[in-house]
Chains A and B, each alone.
Chain A
Amino acid sequence: MNVLVCVKQIPDPNVPGKLDPQTKRLVREGVDAVLDPGDEHAVEAGLQVIEKEGGEATIISMGPPRAMEAIRRALAMGGNRGILITDPGLENSDALSTARAIAAAIKGQTYDLIICGTESTDGSCGAVPAQLAELLGLPLLSFAKKLEVADGKAQIDRQTDDGYDVVEAPLPAVVTVTGGINEARYPALRGIMQAKNKEVKQVGLQDIGLDGKAGKAALTEEVVEIKAAEARKAGEIVEDKGEGAKRVADFLAELKLI
């Protein structure tokens, strides 16, 4: 079983983000970059598949050169090898360019399963996996909170508003996983050491044949304005000295809710 896991390096989500008013882009300086926590679940799901079915997991990412760290982290968890797509021409790529770059970078290779997080924690568009599936002509099993692979098919429990749907597709297929699918393993020291020697192929736009066809050269949209949203007014803050619950109840009573 050949598994590809798509990951993204993002600014530490625990640090409040800032936009540069000039460039209208995320300020990355001075903020730690981490493997997107949502993608850890995708890596874990991929590892669980190959542990059961045999095979290998390739980790792919697109980003600046330092996105290598996110790949190394996924390799430390147990991935076998990596691909980093990095090119100055890919800066500021939109989702479609990202999907095109990933599709181009894996051209000629066959993967039975391509696993992604549902959406990145920083961008939250959630478009890349479906776009990738479309470009590759593959079915997409999205919002999986459970994934099973057997007999050349993948079956998921797909999250819905009031439960889940059991959905099946023949392999190869693209799967997106939600945070609830598993508990991602923490890389062991041995894994971290081994990851340093695992092969990571680095490719640019020319290598993947997308010069002038992705990234800056193919933007489908442009940010033209960023402004502050109307802020909510802060209210009354009290410290609980035994009367806190009563104050809340009074408040609910004032609103005629009890």
Chain B
Amino acid sequence: MAGIWVFAETVDGTPAPVVLELLTKARSLGETTAIALGPSASKAVQTLGKYGAKKVYVHEDAAFRDILATPAVDLLARLIENHQPDLVIFGMTYDGRDVASRLSARLSTALIANATDVVKKDAGWAIITPVFGGTLLVTTVPRAKAPTLVLIRPKAVAAEPAASASAPQVETLTDPVESGKPVARVLRREKEKASGPKLEDAAIIVSGGRGLGAPENFKMLDELAAELGAAVGASRAVVDAGWKPYSLQIGQTGKTVKPTVYIALGISGAMQHTVGMKGAKTIIAINKDPEAPIFKLADLGVIGDVHKIVPQLILEVRSRKGK
């Protein structure tokens, strides 16, 4: 039985967090196989097994790390042809999207992006995707030959280790990777220094929108975030305006976050944004427009001027922490 495959992105042998989410979903649908590519990928095998992979294909060629998408597409296309899985699941990440999209064109298969769930339906699969900021859920079924390729949004599924896991069967591949075709090659990697916790991991997120008026006003968000031990996020409007880097963008285009508290400052709550944050446990919104859609989501909404309230809030938090 070929079953369900998971494209298991790894970095230096550690699976990306989304991979554990994908495996959790995949094992509820059928016999799960993971494909782990790149240097040290074999180090990921144990964790992949813990989360439900019964079999892992490993190929440790450096090309999977250094060349965008194409080596993975070449290998996956070969493996799929030989083993014919029903479903191949990818994380909706930078690399996952490139690989799945190219593969769908190579194989002429259905590709369903932005999914939050996959369920069994009749003899096949139904894929759930949120639209309009998550207010509607669309169910799509594939109409092309197997496999169906699905891109699942990070944080759509809670990762849980399998109740009973055994060491997966490992097949180590060594077939040549370079195809001779022109490729996109990574020359170097630059890390931008970020202070505080990562958006994906933060318990509190302080997020700013166009209502802040100017990029320099993000300083008070940084300050508030530092006091709260929070991460700073941004809406698309702010990122498009160049005030903040894309890596901080929360929403449909951008990250999905599920913090304990999401503090939305000067964010109107466009659908594009709310799809990425409405999974927060608690939402606090401050906005001067009483009609702003964000207030429909907020557990606590304050109608007022962020420029006045945020500095007061910083002082308030400081004084309470001092006690």
Chain A interfacial positions (CB closer than 8 Å to B): 13-14, 16-19, 24, 37-38, 94-96, 99, 118-119, 121, 124-135, 137-143, 145, 155, 157-170, 173, 178-180, 183, 219-229, 231-232, 234-240, 244-249, 251-253, 255, 257-258
Given A164-B190, A224-B141, decide whether A229 and B136 contact each other with a Cβ distance below 8 A.
yes
B110 touches which of A14, A129, A134, A220 (Cβ 8 Å): A220
B62 contacts chain A at the CB level, 8 A cutoff = no
Contact A162 B194 (CB under 8 A): yes
In the bound complex, CA of A119 to CA of B98 (Å): 12
In the bound complex, CA of A240 to CA of B136 (Å): 33
B309 contacts chain A at the CB level, 8 A cutoff = yes
Contact B239 A225 (CB under 8 A): no
B114 contacts chain A at the CB level, 8 A cutoff = yes
Given A127-B101, A179-B240, decide whether A248 and B187 contact each other with a Cβ distance below 8 A.
no
Contact A165 B190 (CB under 8 A): yes
A245 proximity list for chain B (CB < 8 A): 309-310, 312-313, 315-316
Given A127-B97, A179-B239, A179-B240, decide whether A219 and B143 contact each other with a Cβ distance below 8 A.
yes
B100 proximity list for chain A (CB < 8 A): 127
B189 proximity list for chain A (CB < 8 A): 160, 163-166
B188 proximity list for chain A (CB < 8 A): 165-166
Q: Tell me the residues in window 112-140 of chain B with beta carbons closer than 8 Å to chain A beta carbons.
A: 112-114, 126, 130-132, 134-140
User: Can you list 15 contacts pairing A with B, beta carbon distance less than 8 Å?
Assistant: A127-B97, A131-B101, A131-B105, A132-B105, A142-B94, A142-B98, A158-B186, A162-B247, A167-B68, A173-B184, A180-B245, A238-B303, A244-B304, A246-B312, A247-B302
The A interface, classified by DSSP as helix, strand, loop or mixed, is mixed
Mask: chain B, 207-250; 1 = CB below 8 Å from A; 0 = not:
00000000000000000000010000000100110100111000
Mask: chain B, 285-317; 1 = CB below 8 Å from A; 0 = not:
010001000011111111111001110110111
B37 to chain A, nearest CB (A): 17
In the bound complex, CA of A93 to CA of B134 (Å): 23
**6 additional contacts (CB under 8 A) given A138-B182, A221-B140, A236-B300:** A166-B189, A222-B143, A228-B135, A234-B298, A240-B305, A257-B260
In the bound complex, CA of A110 to CA of B236 (Å): 34
B166 contacts chain A at the CB level, 8 A cutoff = no
Contact A249 B313 (CB under 8 A): yes
Bin chain B's interface residue count.
35 or more
Contact B131 A221 (CB under 8 A): no
B187 touches which of A13, A38, A166, A222 (Cβ 8 Å): A166
In the bound complex, CA of A235 to CA of B108 (Å): 47
Contact B317 A140 (CB under 8 A): no
Contact A229 B192 (CB under 8 A): no
A139 touches which of B183, B228, B261 (Cβ 8 Å): B183
B192 proximity list for chain A (CB < 8 A): 162-164
Contact A237 B68 (CB under 8 A): no
Closest 5 CB pairs of A and B: A240-B304, A130-B101, A245-B312, A235-B299, A220-B110
Contact A167 B105 (CB under 8 A): no
A121 proximity list for chain B (CB < 8 A): 253, 272
Contact B101 A126 (CB under 8 A): yes
B304 touches which of A128, A157, A234, A239 (Cβ 8 Å): A239
A135 proximity list for chain B (CB < 8 A): 105
